[in-house]
Amino acid sequence: MTTAASRSPGILEAPPEDPVAWINAAGEHTLADRMGITFHEATPQRLVATMPVAGNTQLYRMLHGGASAVLAESLGSIGAVLHAGEGHIAVGVDLNATHHRAVRTGTVTGVATALHLGRTTATYEVVISDEAGRRVCTARITCAVHGRRRDR
């Protein structure tokens, strides 16, 4: 029997009954797990995840810009997989991030909102905020969708 943790979230065999539990289980022993990313909401239109600042800092002990990029890529890629559906794979092809302010402690929250959900691409805006609700980073990710098209 295949478990949620052993399946790749890159290709859905069937739509998950509980996407958040499926994502968090499938993410064990991945970069997202290593960075402490936890998903809290997941639909093709909107995803929410948190990440601790501790352990994800650069030499000045501020949140590393690359950590924000990993959070943004994780959110957008999983959203694209959920959008693509059964039998498809979604891969990131473009990511850009603007860093607005430094964060030294606590947890950041990323909210990905779909900008475009098409047949071959999915694009998300990701807003990463600190615990006070201040914008830390704004990112945009575009993913390519490959595989057979599901009926919609």
SS3 labels along 75-118: HHHHHHHHHHCECEEEEEEEEEEEECCCCCCCEEEEEEEEEEEC
Radius of gyration of the CA atoms of the chain, in A: 15
Name 133's Cβ contacts closer than 8 Å, sequence gap at least 6. Answer: none
* pLDDT tens-digit map of 67-123: 999 999 999 999 999 999 888 899 999 999 999 999 999 999 999 999 999 999 999
Instruction: For strands 46-52 and 88-99, give the pairing.
Output: unpaired
Catalytic center residues: 73
Is the pLDDT at 33 greater than 90? The verdict is: yes
